[in-house]
């Protein structure tokens, strides 16, 4: 899988995570309706999404791209952990996919390899 595809996968997953967190925050019966934890998950997924987009735009700045991808990976991982404590399994899976895509991107994309 190429770096572009991994970035796209991370972006889609993080975007899905944002939508899901927003839904869980406002819908009644989610168990986390209106809670700070749901907002934090929304923020975390948003940060991962933003990081993935920025990384995609930084093809010519190798090291900076690696740093931004790493930060997005951290955001996605922490959001997945938060989702686990929020007992939102779908959000855990979505953010884990985002994190995995970002990790693979860091590991196998030449532009990032020097960073890790």
Partner 1 sequence: MWGLRVLLGAVVGLAGPVQAEQPRWDTFNGTLAATKFADVTTFTPETVGRLQRAWEVRTGDVSDGSGDLPETVWSATPIYANGTLYLGTPFYRILALDPATGQERWSYDTRSTLKALTQPALKNRGVAYWESGADGPCEKRVYLGTMDATLHAVDADTGQPCADFGENGVLNVNQWNETNDVFPFSLLQPPTIVGDVILIGWSGKDWAYSVEPPGNLMAVSARTGELLWDTGFIPADLIPRTGTANIWSSMSADPDLGLVYVPVSSPSPNYWGGNRLEGVPLATSITAVEIATGKIAWSYQHIHHDIWDYDTPSAPTLVDLPRGGAQVPALVQTTKQGLIFVLDRRTGAPLFPVRERPVPASDAEGEVAAQTQPFVPHPPPTVPVDALPEVWWLADALSFGQCSRDRDRFRYDGMFTPPSTQGTLLWPGTAGANNWGGAAVDPRHGILFVNSSRVVQIIRLIPRHAYDGEVRKATNGSIEGGNEAGFHAQEGAPYGIELYEWTNSLGLPCWAPPYGTFAAYDLASGDRLYEVPFGLTQRWGFYGLRSWGSPTLGGPVVTAGGVVFLGASMDDRVRALDAATGRELWSDIVAAPSVSIPAVFSHEGQDYVVFVAGGNSILKPRVADQVVAYRLPRE
Residues interacting with partner 1, by CB under 8 A? 28-32, 35-38, 40, 82, 85-87
The nearest distance, CB 21 to partner 1, in angstroms, is 11
The nearest distance, CB 114 to partner 1, in angstroms, is 37
Dihedral sign, Cα of residue 107, residue 11, residue 91, residue 72: positive
Cβ proximity to partner 1: between 2 and 31 the closer is 31
Cβ proximity to partner 1: between 86 and 103 the closer is 86
Residue with the two structure tokens 């190798």:
62
- Which are the contacts of 115, defined by CB distance < 8 A and separation ≥ 6? 62, 63, 66, 67, 69, 70, 106
Cβ proximity to partner 1: between 57 and 87 the closer is 87
- Which are the contacts of 30, defined by CB distance < 8 A and separation ≥ 6? 23, 24, 38, 88
The nearest distance, CB 57 to partner 1, in angstroms, is 33
The nearest distance, CB 34 to partner 1, in angstroms, is 8
Cβ proximity to partner 1: between 32 and 103 the closer is 32
Among 79, 72, 76, 77, CA closest to 106: 72
């Amino acid at each position: 899988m190429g770096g572009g595809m991994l970035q796209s996968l991370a972006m889609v997953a993080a975007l899905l995570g944002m939508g899901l967190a927003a839904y869980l925050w406002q819908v009644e019966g989610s168990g986390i309706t209106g809670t700070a934890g749901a907002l934090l998950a929304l923020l975390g997924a948003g940060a991962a999404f933003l990081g993935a987009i920025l990384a995609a735009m930084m093809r010519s700045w190798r090291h900076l791209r690696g740093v931004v991808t790493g930060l997005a990976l951290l955001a996605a991982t922490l959001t997945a952990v938060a989702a686990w404590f929020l007992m939102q399994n779908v959000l855990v899976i979505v953010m884990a996919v985002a994190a995995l895509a970002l990790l693979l991107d860091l590991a196998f994309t030449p532009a990032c390899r020097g960073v890790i």
